[in-house]
Amino acid sequence: MSTQIEVRKVVKSFERGGQTLRVLDALDLQIEEGSFDALMGPSGSGKSTLLNLIAGLDRPTSGEVIVAGASLGQMSEAAQATWRSRTLGFIFQSYNLIPVLTAQENVELPLLLTNLSSAERKRRSETALRVVGLEQRMGHLPRMLSGGQEQRVAIARAIVNDPAVIVADEPTGDLDRQSADDILTLLQKLNTELGKTILMVTHDPMAAERAKTVHRLDKGRLA
Amino acid sequence: MTLLGLSARNALRNRLRTGLTVLAVAVALVAFVMLRTVVWAYTIAGDVAANDRVVSRHKVTFVMLLPKKYAAQVAAQPGVSQVTWANWFGGKDPKHDKEFFAALAVDPATYLDVYDEMKVTPEEKAAWQADRRGCVVGDVLAKKLGWKKGDRIVLESQFIQGQFEMHVSAIYTATRKSVDRNTLIFHWEYMNEAAGPVRDQIGWITSRVKDPARTADIGRAIDKAFDDNDVQTLSQSERAFNQSFVGMFSAILRAIDLVSVVLLGIMMLVLGNTIAMGVRERTQEYGALRALGFLPKHLVLFVLGEAVTIGVAGGVLGLALSYPIVERGMGRFLEENMGGFFPYFRISGGVAATAIALSVLLGVLAAVVPAWQTTRIKVVDALRRIA
């Protein structure tokens, strides 16, 4: 197993009201390829900030973040966006599906950034929906789906471009217990059967139990 | 699915808001088309004027008269094939004294030959020429005042005392859209008998030239022929002559232009407001799209595509509404009641194309600021709104 995500001496500070707020404090973290890790911690502990740095959505004040062999700090913003579209799958707490697109079209969305033909994009998005068990809901708009089903569509969208890493920010935060269990089972399946490296931020201890490794953050450091 | 298709479908997210915006754009566009059609219809007389006619009038002003003998001298100019003349009679029917129409005292032997776009049958023409009290009336005017061929009518003049009894010899139609079908013409001699101090004076002379390319040269030659006389002439092509009338109303036309621009501004603000609201509501979603790998240029495309879709929908609806409103309602009314100013009140192809092009252009302009705002979205801040 090789290291898929490496965080080296990362510091992230924000200016707030004339004061410097150090959210991540010389943090080191390594996540192996094919692992399923959870990041836990109280509000303000820096877990979402760390996830943003790993996803290439933000830059550290100092230190280095290397994901799937790419050092993100040396990339331009456009290069980071292209890298994200090829390497990362995102799962958000609020699903962020486009309401005027069907489930299949929502899943197809990241593939619009590729050179794939329309037929190939459709085929891949349908396959992704089959993986998450929504082959019967391909033509449904998001408003016709339950919260759990919407999150499944979002997971299909996250895997449609076959990413090396999936990052999930509170993926069960808006779901009832049963739907949350279903989503976590699906994430486990993506990890074990498809070998995806998953990093999940969560407040929920029951969700964290499904991960292979749990990292606890407190005041910008791993506890 | 394509990026452009997605941007167009975004317009359907809030159907009520989009529907109201499309309606607002359509209403503004109907008003715009109406105003542009007023300007176009008013200026068309110049644009569609005959290119082989020269109009000569008093050099000082149109309201001053020329000696009638000038007509024969103009006819003798090289290159002139036919000549006719006319006077503004300022006539009205005492039974319909609120109805304005042009009444011209003309030379019956030549007028319908020089103005051959006024159509009557050869028999009617001959009957009119033979009847000293005969007149020829435009079909729109005849319909409006209930006149029929053979009717006896009485006119009074603003300039000459007395009543002028006439017979309707013919009803003319038009073969050219610039012709005012709201005009009455009658024998110049009949008017001249009662003209008193302005006897043997004519308002203007119209010459038909053999070579339309020499219109300007012939006009200059005519004027030169009268240079040493007490009364000098100003000769212009019919187009320039008609446009000099348009020029008299240039302030009004400029005001209409200004109102048209204001309308376009309102249309753009309505559209811009809708787009800006949509962008503000979708900040989180744009953050998510950026996280998925979409670039700022893609977000700009989404915003522009949505704005253009709404703009074009409003433009097409507005234009579709404009045709019945302008052509069947307003146009018919103006042609029948103000035919002197608007002989042909229709939406021109140019106005229609301009309206659609502007709806696209204004859509783009309305989206510039909201689109720019999407490029400034910080992904992390946008996503933070979600959690």
- Out of B3, B295, B380, name the one closest to residue A57 (CB): B380
**Cα–Cα distance, B108 to B106 (Å, whole number):** 6
Q: Contact at 8 Å (CB) between B140 and B335?
A: yes
- CA A193 to chain B, closest CA, distance in angstroms equals 23
Tell me which residue of A54, A24, A22 sits closest to A37, measured CA to CA: A54
Q: What is the pLDDT of residue B340?
A: 59
To 5 degrees, how large is the angle CA A125–CA A128–CA A131? 155
CB–CB of A81 and B9 under 8 A?
Answer: no
Domain count, chain A: 1
**CB contact B297 to A (< 8 Å):** no
Contacts of A82 in chain B (CB under 8 A): 293
- CA A101 to chain B, closest CA, distance in angstroms equals 8
Q: What is the pLDDT of residue B206?
A: 96
**CB contact B181 to A (< 8 Å):** no
**Cα–Cα distance, A198 to B110 (Å, whole number):** 96
pLDDT band at residue B61, thresholds of 50, 70 and 90? confident
Extended strands (E) in chain B: 53-58, 66-67, 80-88, 91-92, 102-106, 118-119, 134-138, 152-157, 163-174, 183-187, 201-202, 204-209, 233-237
Tokens of B312: 């074009």
Contacts of B293 in chain A (CB under 8 A): 81-82, 84-86, 110, 113
**CB contact A62 to B (< 8 Å):** no
Q: Mean pLDDT across the stretch B86-96?
A: 90
Compute CA distances A97 → A142, A165, B69, B153, whole Å: 7, 20, 87, 78
Q: The domain that contains A26 carries what CATH number?
A: 3.40.50.300
Contacts of B380 in chain A (CB under 8 A): 52, 57-58
**Cα–Cα distance, B40 to B178 (Å, whole number):** 12
3-class DSSP state of B297: helix
CB–CB of A90 and B386 under 8 A?
Answer: no
- CA A84 to chain B, closest CA, distance in angstroms equals 5
Compute CA distances B14 → A3, A67, B244, B288, B386, whole Å: 46, 40, 52, 20, 20
Tell me which residue of B112, B53, B55, B59 sits closest to B228, measured CA to CA: B59
| Nearest residue of chain A to residue B15 (CA atoms) | A100
Q: Average per-residue pLDDT in chain B?
A: 89
pLDDT band at residue B378, thresholds of 50, 70 and 90? confident
Angle between helix B296-322 and helix B15-47 axes, rounded to 10 deg: 60
Q: What is the pLDDT of residue B130?
A: 96
- All residues at 6 or more sequence positions from B342 whose CB lies less than 8 Å from its CB, including other chains: B38, B41, B42, B331, B334, B335
**Cα–Cα distance, A196 to A188 (Å, whole number):** 9
CB–CB of B285 and A98 under 8 A?
Answer: yes
Contacts of A155 in chain B (CB under 8 A): none
- Out of B284, B295, B379, name the one closest to residue A96 (CB): B284
Domain boundaries, chain B: 3-46+249-384, 65-230
Extended strands (E) in A109-187: 165-169
Q: Contact at 8 Å (CB) between B246 and B45?
A: yes
Q: What is the pLDDT of residue B386?
A: 42
Asked if residue B64 has pLDDT above 80, the reply is yes
- CA B101 to chain A, closest CA, distance in angstroms equals 59
Asked if residue B229 has pLDDT above 90, the reply is yes
Q: Mean pLDDT across the stretch B40-69?
A: 84
- Tell me the ipTM for this assembly: 0.89
pLDDT, one tens digit for every residue, chain A (223 residues): 688 899 999 999 988 888 888 899 899 999 999 999 999 998 888 888 999 999 998 999 999 999 998 898 888 888 999 999 999 999 988 888 999 999 999 999 999 999 999 999 999 999 999 999 999 999 999 999 999 999 999 999 999 999 999 999 989 888 889 999 999 999 999 999 989 999 999 988 999 999 999 999 988 888 7
pTM for the model: 0.72
Q: What is the pLDDT of residue B45?
A: 62
Q: What is the pLDDT of residue B166?
A: 95
Of residues B341 and B300, the one with the higher pLDDT is B300
Asked if residue B70 has pLDDT above 60, the reply is yes
Q: Mean pLDDT across the stretch B279-296?
A: 90
Contacts of A94 in chain B (CB under 8 A): 284, 386-387
| Nearest residue of chain B to residue A174 (CA atoms) | B387
| Nearest residue of chain A to residue B2 (CA atoms) | A112
Contacts of A108 in chain B (CB under 8 A): 1
Tell me which residue of B78, B324, B102, B110 sits closest to B206, measured CA to CA: B110
**CB contact A114 to B (< 8 Å):** no
Q: Mean pLDDT across the stretch B362-381?
A: 90
Contacts of A86 in chain B (CB under 8 A): 293
Contacts of B383 in chain A (CB under 8 A): 52, 57, 92, 169
pLDDT digits 0-9 by tens, B234-250? 999 887 877 776 667 77
Domain limits for position A206? 3-222
**Cα–Cα distance, A87 to B131 (Å, whole number):** 96
- All residues at 6 or more sequence positions from A219 whose CB lies less than 8 Å from its CB, including other chains: A25, A45, A46
Residue A199 CA to its chain's centroid (Å)? 7
**CB contact B285 to A (< 8 Å):** yes
Residue A201 CA to its chain's centroid (Å)? 9
Sign of the torsion formed by the C-alpha atoms of B200, B204, B208 and B211? positive
pLDDT band at residue B387, thresholds of 50, 70 and 90? very low
To 5 degrees, how large is the angle CA B236–CA B239–CA B243? 95
